[in-house]
Structure 1
């Protein structure tokens, strides 16, 4: 099967079998797959929320255009993202990729793109997974010399005005608040309060700018939290022994 290639090296054999079952090779062509957590934010906000969805994110296309549709992105059909819950063996999220698609790699493990009503963030488990995934998406969806893609990216940088009615609410209980940052209202300093000042100063001494820290504040918080849990677990285990 074509799916079992260098683009899915991070998947176990069981995960590959599940993807084959959910996305049959006869109708779906898999370009890349990686382990991802899905985040979201409103267009006008830096308030990222974890969607509660995680699994194997697959980038691929239909082998044939959907019935009654056209080939927006060429080469046999439309491209899409589909998230597969490999434990429940089913698809849990899908995003159809438009012809003009602004997909950004903020860091190797953090990618963003705009949907119809919100911005999505993809947090990859490994840098290598994220980098390989971005390369495959960027070369397939919009070539670097595409004038249309340049126009699309320029328009995305412009301020977008939306109303509350333009943004659908999340399913109750399905989103976990991560962090809110307001650069004009001291939100950045507030978000850093839980951190040891030595950590922040250490990052700055190693050339990590305040802007980079701001963009990745929720990941820093997750990392510190995970480390604290690991340390607590280690100390608990030591005391029992």
Structure 2
């Protein structure tokens, strides 16, 4: 389901620019404010951080990261989901958890997206393991090791042309990106 709070193409592009890489996977993202119970643990204080809060995965580690959408400052806050990390849904729009030195909370802009975010954080253990996409140099090395580099010498070209019978199915295909077309917006990555 598309995000209601991140429906602006510029905001989506900002989130992807700062969080997407071959070594990370964005599980979900929405808009929220960060509150902390510090220095007084019995009182919530707005931390001055508002942006796209995302659950991301790098290898076997999960993180909560907030990307600044107003000034394009990138990742402005991060919390690793450590062993034993507990995430509470205190209210439909307010979630809390223990950070390094304080209790933190997210106040979400949309209750439905807050519920989806809560489900994703709690369901993270059921996600398939994340395998980083190897760099192009790694793919070339693996193809060479598999003998793909010398194959063209086994099938001589006649008159410089390759006929369709010599073309096989793709192997080791990986979808690493998507470009879509929307008639109202244009191309979107």
Please give the TM-score of this superposition, normalised by the length of structure 1: 0.48
Write the distance in 2 (CA, Å) between the matches of 1:43 and 1:103.
Answer: 21
Alignment pair present for 1:60 and 2:56: yes
**Unpaired runs of 5+ in structure 1?**
1-5, 63-75, 144-241
1:78-117 map, 5 Å: 78-89=61-72, 90-117=74-101
**Unpaired runs of 5+ in structure 2?**
128-189
The equivalent residue for 1:120 is 104
Contact 1:7–1:33 (8 Å) recurs in 2: no
Cα shift at 1:142: 8.4
Alignment pair present for 1:34 and 2:17: no
- More displaced 10-residue stretch of structure 1: 85-94 or 111-120: 85-94
The equivalent residue for 2:133 is none
Alignment pair present for 1:129 and 2:113: yes
Cα shift at 1:27: 2.0
Distance 1:17 1:140, change over 3 A: same
Cα shift at 1:125: 0.8
Distance 1:26 1:119, change over 3 A: same
Contact 1:7–1:31 (8 Å) recurs in 2: no
The equivalent residue for 1:22 is 18
Write the distance in 2 (CA, Å) between the matches of 1:45 and 1:96.
Answer: 21
Q: Where is the helix percentage greater, Structure 1 or Structure 2?
A: 1
Look up the SS of the partner of 2:106 in the other structure. Answer: strand
Contact 2:5–2:109 (8 Å) recurs in 1: no
Contact 2:20–2:26 (8 Å) recurs in 1: no
